[in-house]
Structure 1
Amino acid sequence: MSYERNDVILYQIMDCLVEDYGYSIIRFQGQKQDLWLTNKDNPKYPVIRLNPATSTSLIFEQDYLERVTMFMRRLLQSNEKILIINTNEASTEFEENNFQQILFHDEKESSMLFATFPHLQYAVKKVDNNDSEIRRINQSLRNFQMKKTRANTVRQIPKFTLGIMGVCIAVFLLTQLLAMQLGGDAWTKALLIAGAYYKTFVVAAHEYWRFITAGFHHLSISHLLMNMLALYSLGSVVEKSFNKKQYVAILLVSIICGNLLVFVVENNQISAGISGGLYGLMASVIVIAIENQTFRIPQVRSSLLRVVWINLLISLLPGVSFTAHMGGFVAGAIMSFLFVKNAKWKFLKPHVAICFVILIGGLSFYGLNNNTVKPLYPTTDYQVIKDVRKLGLDGYANYLEKNVDRLYGE
């Protein structure tokens, strides 16, 4: 295939915009000879069309461009005009239907383009052999893409999520060591001493910190592994969409609200696990998909629905706390709604935040004033206190015993 000079200019522009200005190439089924570039981080020109064909109006391409425009706006959440860079000398400049076409060829260079993308002044140049130049650019782009892919692979490793997983695994191992030190069948007692949720100790000794620490304990190795797989999957998505402080806030608030709802609604029980936080992250993924409109893509929508149904069925299994899951889900959805950057939702955020604070305050007030504990497990409670003394924590053991005695005396 023999390339013309306007094709070479188009490829040189593309090479410069991709390698120097962070644009990505988008290809469409049934695409013409034009090229589309996107860069959501460029506020002025998030979408650029490179076209080497003769073009004096968009009237003959209306259907094609409407389909492309709809996809681009859904993908990038941008209503900025689409810039067309045309390299054909027979074309004309124009603005119509949210498109702006400018010309760039040997007889006409664009000062506007040079001002916006200064490197173009050096990237576009005449060459002795058009075909060789196109091959060089294609090879350069392939090499650049390989480097970018490798860098993205390293960058996309969810390091913060792996850190949270490391904390959960470390807590599990430390609890195992504690159980071994106590001797015998002491796993449950080790969990209680280490910080699992237990309504008796929350009510009697006001140990509300268990609402947080319970999220990092797990009942068994299978429970831990299942939750870590879910955390890696969901956390990887959330970590890309929110900063670390927001991510931690979503996770911790979901864990706390899940356990708070268990405290208010359910009877006395021992529970542990990051499941409330996982449901908060799942809600966050759904909010992200709605905010960036990717839920309109059938494959994404189908995947989200499948995840929701599977987790809903898991929540209904015996021994699984549906209450904690729902509390975490609602909290995660609200926190994510407050954190996403969506201008259309901005006016709703203060109202949602106020309602959320009122909801948490109401649950806390009700829980503190209706904190009956049933059934009671005095044998377990006093055995845990005995084991706390065995560990040399006499002060804490005395505190627990005093408050448990008071509870049983009421």
Structure 2
Amino acid sequence: MKYPKIAVFLIIVFFSIFLVDTFFLNGLLLQWGTLNNEKVFLNNQWWRVITAPLFHFGVIHIFANSLATYCTGILIESKIKSTWFLLIFMVSNTLERIIFVFIFSPGSSVGSSPGIFGLIGVIVIYCIRNKSFFIEHIKSREMEYLIGYGILGNILFVNSLVDIIERLFVHAVGFIIGVMLGVILNLTPKEKILKNTSV
């Protein structure tokens, strides 16, 4: 099991921003970086689709997402390389935020869960195409946590049916983007060459 350095780096970034903003800046960074469709469209603040995943609402939110990030790192980062791990996380988050801002009107939307679900999508593709990986990890603590995260993350701490719909949308889109990226990455020219030469 290799050390998931990008997963740990992301967690450090999450907590650094959270702690600095909470104890020193009184939420100034949160106001600057959250996703808000009025500020995106009316003020052209498109950086928010990139920065929103780095912020979290409260201790439970940041701990749940950090542990999920770490679990995906343990399971898949060494399999797909750290650069791809980071790229999938960022692309899943950014694309989902762009889609979300055109459909919903959030007062404030933050969190890294779209990227985490994108990585879960890649893990699913990896399990389908690598049965030994699936057998080895299906009963691991990391996989159990991610399954629980995927279920409970859609139903806990919601205030209305609209909240549930928005959260399901966010996670489903992130997951679908991850699945698509997982399929695409599996078809890189390098892997095709390896498959052809092994015949």
TM range (shorter): 0.7 to 0.9
Q: How does 1:168-207 map to 2 (within 5 A)?
A: 168-176=14-22, 177-179=24-26, 187=27, 190-193=29-32, 195-207=33-45
Distance 1:306 1:342, change over 3 A: farther
Deviation, 1:312, is 3.5
Q: Which residue of structure 2 aligns with residue 328 of structure 1?
A: 174
User: Can you list the C-alpha shifts for 1:155-196, whole angstroms capped at 9, x where unaligned?
Assistant: x221221111111111112222211xxxxxxx4x64112x11
Q: Which residue of structure 2 aligns with residue 312 of structure 1?
A: 151
Q: How does 1:282-361 map to 2 (within 5 A)?
A: 282-294=120-132, 297=135, 300=138, 307-308=146-147, 311-317=150-156, 318=158, 319=163, 321-340=167-186
> Partner letter of residue 116 of structure 2?
L
More strand by percentage: 1
> Partner letter of residue 314 of structure 1?
G
Structure showing greater Rg: 1
- Which of 52, 57, 64 aligns to 1:226? It is 64
CA distance in 1, matches of 2:31, 2:92: 21
Q: Which residue of structure 1 aligns with residue 114 of structure 2?
A: 276
Deviation, 1:217, is 0.5
**What is the TM-score of this pair, normalised by structure 1?**
0.40
Deviation, 1:289, is 0.9
Distance 1:295 1:157, change over 3 A: closer
Distance 1:277 1:283, change over 3 A: same
Cα RMSD between the aligned structures?
2.8
> Partner letter of residue 150 of structure 2?
N
SS at 1:270's partner residue? coil
Deviation, 1:309, is 6.5
Distance 1:172 1:285, change over 3 A: same
Assess if the C-alpha contact under 8 Å between 2:34 and 2:52 holds in 1: yes
Assess if the C-alpha contact under 8 Å between 1:258 and 1:326 holds in 2: no
Deviation, 1:277, is 0.7
Q: How does 1:8-407 map to 2 (within 5 A)?
A: 156-176=2-22, 177-179=24-26, 187=27, 190-193=29-32, 195-294=33-132, 297=135, 300=138, 307-308=146-147, 311-317=150-156, 318=158, 319=163, 321-340=167-186
SS at 1:259's partner residue? helix
CA distance in 2, matches of 1:245, 1:302: 24
User: Can you list the C-alpha shifts for 1:287-322, whole angstroms capped at 9, x where unaligned?
Assistant: 111121237649728996984475134224414622
- Counting matched residue pairs gives 182
SS at 1:197's partner residue? coil
Unaligned 5+ runs, structure 2: 193-199
More helix by percentage: 2
Deviation, 1:224, is 0.7
SS at 1:268's partner residue? coil
> Partner letter of residue 331 of structure 1?
I
Distance 1:245 1:233, change over 3 A: same
Which structure would you say has the larger RCO, counting Cα contacts within 8 Å and 6 or more residues apart? 2
User: Can you list the C-alpha shifts for 1:134-168, whole angstroms capped at 9, x where unaligned?
Assistant: xxxxxxxxxxxxxxxxxx6xxx2212211111111
Assess if the C-alpha contact under 8 Å between 1:284 and 1:336 holds in 2: yes
- After alignment, is 254-263 or 269-278 more displaced? 254-263
**What is the TM-score of this pair, normalised by structure 2?**
0.79
Unaligned 5+ runs, structure 1: 1-151, 180-186, 347-410
CA distance in 2, matches of 1:251, 1:161: 10
